[in-house]
Structure 1
């Protein structure tokens, strides 16, 4: 089969379309013929040499995919050859075929095409695990989503609205904010010329839950933006790895700070998250309350072009690669 491999750490030009050995499923695994995969920020970091795969994971990038099961390993129940699925991966999605642990499989939701389904697993599992399972977002609360025009952000906006939250977002242009408004965002903040802390306090008094992709550079201001008892969940570090935190403010607000990285989680924990997503979020997807947002679709062999687009921030939602 063919796959995208990383020749060396560097720019998009280090991504090569090459022939690699066909994978085979072991016990508890299935083999999926890939219809599409998605470009995530983690793939860019891996290409740059800043986010290596966890031990035992494929060196081929790609943290999610959609496709059709073509082989089922031993000790797999509930799945069979021919099933259309999408899947959360630790790696290997940028390929014509990929082996998937059965607990990390999801059915393609009714009403969603098999290619578009590749935009769902990573965003769905990240948002549900953080905003709902960890932070306990409830109806009537305020959710602040940073980087809201990206793949995870566009999903989080919709989930927040579907759960009855007031959704505030930050993005870097009027066009991207308008896309967020169309998805249901209530409060729009252009981070280039507006202070999200001041805007949020003026509109709502603060956020109950903040989903943050920036990390260090937003740490103290995120704390300022929380209401008493608020919860900050960090899912990225585009703004740096090391920051200062006012412990006095943290304690005075009785706030909570959590973080999540799905990729290094063991299969059992990923399976627990996937099961919750299938039970609670998939019905919202099938009713059209939450839908995959696809900004661009590009052939897999042109993955370098897709990476350039993601780094430039030119697409709203997910950039998909079709096998």
Structure 2
């Protein structure tokens, strides 16, 4: 019998599903229970193919625009949030609409609205085209929210009044990169108003800290998540910045490049906030089939956040 090579897997904790993702998936499942199939979902409910395929098999229909939905079936808005024009269009068509926007994203929407009411122009730190950024910028009239992605973008900003500015951020950014952009904004616009509490969500922050904690111990890092998942991509970047030379995103165990891992003694494993634990277990099992595995959990925080589903789904 062949002797398997010893390997230590460092399992980051927290990892995987956050409260906002849990709530969004529950919303789709409860909507299917309440109204039957099909239930329409505008955009992927969360950015994970495994989750989306599972809900599709239960009767969810995923579309990109409200115009792709019939009037007589419920529609759910994804966890990333939508521009104000979308629920307004659904109301105009008398549709049953359920908002699965993460409450922490809604908090940013409310901040933006409050600053706008105070006469401030908004600068948003985020990724152009990401549904969360599109949704947040779409809370206010055109021109009221200016987007910056990098520190370099700050120098090119043309604002209406340097004395009447506030900034908000996408919830799934790199904590370190965002700190640099905020510093650049504050240097150029000393009076700019920031959020009372950081916009980057607790789950994004916790997962990044966990990666930083395991980075010195590992030869390679695997982040389980989707290529369109902002928070998962940031975990790969955080791992590399923390000194992990080989850090890769994988959707499933089948995506692991075993040749790249040849000769290593330790691997870190984490998962983005929209990746289910079943995929983490699948990856661990794949390692156990090839190595003599020892698993060590590295916990940097405990999470006990829970968000209620909308009232319409709590009613019989």
TM-score with structure 2 length normalisation? 0.36
Return the structure number with greater helix share: 2
Q: Give TM-score scaled by structure 1 length.
A: 0.36
- Highest relative contact order (Cα 8 Å, sep 6+), 1 or 2? 2
